[in-house]
């Protein structure tokens, strides 16, 4: 069971300064957001997000922004709009050597055909996928006002999003995040591709096999795991969360196996730090030197309870019984200036940190 005493270390805004987007009324808030989007005034929206006083306020404003950018105000039956979307790909690689995988899908038409074959296109009149595997940083650079303009004018969507190669610096298993970006032209009143392709169970495995065949190299296994497509503003956070979950699972399975083979069952300490991290430290009470650590840098949109529940469930699945949840926010670094993953012996019986 997750300790409710683990604190959320994120720092939100004060919410006290006057901002252009600050209405408590949803309808008024949406009108203000639309006005800023129409004027390409992303700065006001960024300022309002930075001023959000807590997670709930941040999420509420962000949802209004994404809805306003992606939905036309008066979707009549004759209106046709461009829906730009991104398909998050969590790519797990297993390599016996350093390697570099191409950031371009060699035959993107095969991927487009898969969606068509599995009935995922819905009412889309025109549908296309870019062949670039884009990084998280590239997708995050797309601003809400750009999406607002693209949705209302398909001809405005001419921005090129560059590919990002997948670099594997050392042998072993690694988790990467990339996106395939596409567009679908469809009636505004009809379901978008994001909706018609939401059932990943229909096309997910065929897509994994097709991409793996195109991206794999000798001595490098590639497992591309797609998440449902989302609009360009929602896709960055969803992909980031999925990557961290996959990376945490990979970390836990490898670390627990390593520690159990060496010294027996490990202890686990979960702590929150003042740089916005949740950290998981796995160590043995019989080894004072070795510790295996994992960082989850919290995003303002992350649901704190969901993150801690994922960690708790994973540790339970790994049969780790000695789990300590630290009750206070700890410094990011220890007294030696190193990243701090506290051990059980550094905590008092209540799970609070002893002076270090």
Segment 7-17 mean pLDDT: 82
pLDDT digits 0-9 by tens, 51-94: 999 999 999 999 999 999 988 665 555 677 778 899 999 999 99
The pLDDT value given to residue 123:
80
**Continuous segment of H or E residues that includes residue 105:** none
Residues 220, 96 share a domain? yes
The pLDDT value given to residue 113:
94
Segment 291-319 mean pLDDT: 96
Residues 207, 319 share a domain? no
More confident residue, 354 or 333: 333
pLDDT at 18 over 90: no
DSSP reduced 3-state for 177? strand
Segment 16-45 mean pLDDT: 78
Would 225 be classed as within a structural domain?
Answer: yes
The 10 Å Cβ neighbour count of residue 263 is: 14
pLDDT digits 0-9 by tens, 224-282: 999 999 999 999 999 999 999 999 999 999 999 999 998 889 999 999 999 999 999 99
Would 162 be classed as within a structural domain?
Answer: yes
The domain boundary residue, chosen from 70, 100, 129: 70
Please, which pLDDT band fits residue 49 given cuts at 50, 70 and 90? very high
Residues 187, 87 share a domain? yes
The pLDDT value given to residue 287:
83
The domain tally of the chain equals 3
Please give the structure tokens belonging to residue 333.
């670094």
Strand ranges for 98-153 from DSSP E: 99-101, 126-129
**Continuous segment of H or E residues that includes residue 44:** helix 42-51
C-beta of residue 52 within 8 angstroms of C-beta of residue 62 = no
State the residue for tokens 């129409």: 38
Query: What is the average pLDDT value for the chain, to the nearest integer?
Result: 89
The pLDDT value given to residue 124:
74
pLDDT at 118 over 80: yes
The domain boundary residue, chosen from 183, 204, 233: 233
* Positive/negative CA dihedral, 185, 188, 193, 197: negative
Would 33 be classed as within a structural domain?
Answer: yes
State the Cα angle at 262 between 256 and 266, rounded to 5°.
40
The pLDDT value given to residue 188:
78
Partnered with residue 86 across adjacent β-strands are: 181, 230
Percentage above 70 pLDDT, the chain: 92
Please, which pLDDT band fits residue 1 given cuts at 50, 70 and 90? very low
Residues 265, 227 share a domain? no
The pLDDT value given to residue 95:
92
Alpha carbon of 273 to those of 123, 248, 339: distances in Å? Answer: 48, 18, 10
Question: What does 208-273 look like in DSSP terms, one character per residue?
Answer: HHHHHHHH-BTTEEEEEEE---EETTTHHHHHHHHHHHHHHHHHHHHHHHHHHHHTSSPEEEEEEE
Q: Which residues span the domain enclosing 286?
A: 250-346
- Nearest residue to 343 (alpha-carbon basis) of 330, 329, 324, 328: 324
Residues 259, 213 share a domain? no
Would 353 be classed as within a structural domain?
Answer: no
Please, which pLDDT band fits residue 156 given cuts at 50, 70 and 90? low
Residues 261, 223 share a domain? no
- Nearest residue to 301 (alpha-carbon basis) of 227, 244, 246, 236: 236
The pLDDT value given to residue 90:
98
The pLDDT value given to residue 158:
57
Residues 66, 84 share a domain? no
Residues 157, 18 share a domain? no
pLDDT at 320 over 50: yes
Residues 8, 33 share a domain? yes
- Dist CA 323 CA 155 (whole Å): 55
- Nearest residue to 136 (alpha-carbon basis) of 83, 106, 184, 176: 176
The domain boundary residue, chosen from 45, 70, 95: 70
Segment 181-187 mean pLDDT: 86
State the residue for tokens 């949802």: 63
The pLDDT value given to residue 79:
72
């Amino acid at each position: 069971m997750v300790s409710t005493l683990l604190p959320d270390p994120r720092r939100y805004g004060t919410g006290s300064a006057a901002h252009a987007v600050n209405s408590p009324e949803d309808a008024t808030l949406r009108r203000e957001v639309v006005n800023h989007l129409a004027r390409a005034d992303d700065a006001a929206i960024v300022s309002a997000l930075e001023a959000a006083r807590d997670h709930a306020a941040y999420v509420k404003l962000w949802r209004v922004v994404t809805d306003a950018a992606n939905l036309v105000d008066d979707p009549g039956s004759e209106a046709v709009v461009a829906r730009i979307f991104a398909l998050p790909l969590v790519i797990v690689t297993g390599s016996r050597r350093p390697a570099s995988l191409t950031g371009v899908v060699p035959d993107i038409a095969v991927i487009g055909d898969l969606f068509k074959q599995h009935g995922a296109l819905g009412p889309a009149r025109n549908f296309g996928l870019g062949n670039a595997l884009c990084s998280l940083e590239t997708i995050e650079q797309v601003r809400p006002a750009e999406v607002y303009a693209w949705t209302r004018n398909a001809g405005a969507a001419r921005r090129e999003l560059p590919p990002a190669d997948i670099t594997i610096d050392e042998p072993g298993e690694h988790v990467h995040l990339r996106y395939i970006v596409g567009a679908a032209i469809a009636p505004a009143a009809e379901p978008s591709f994001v909706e018609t392709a939401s059932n990943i169970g229909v096309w997910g495995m065929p897509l994994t096999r097709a991409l793996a065949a195109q991206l794999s190299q000798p001595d490098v296994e590639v497992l591309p795991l797609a998440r449902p497509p989302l609009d360009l503003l929602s896709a960055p956070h969803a992909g980031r969360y999925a990557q961290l979950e996959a990376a945490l699972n990979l970390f836990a399975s490898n670390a627990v196996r390593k520690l159990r083979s060496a010294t027996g069952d490990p202890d686990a300490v979960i702590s929150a730090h003042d740089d916005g991290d949740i950290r998981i430290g796995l160590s043995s009470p019989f080894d004072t030197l070795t510790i295996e650590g994992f960082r989850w840098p919290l995003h303002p949109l992350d649901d704190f309870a969901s993150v801690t529940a994922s960690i708790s469930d994973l540790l339970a699945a790994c049969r780790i019984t000695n789990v300590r949840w630290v009750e206070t926010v700890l410094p990011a670094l220890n007294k030696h200036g190193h990243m701090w993953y506290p051990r059980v012996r550094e905590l008092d019986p209540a799970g609070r940190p002893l002076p270090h």
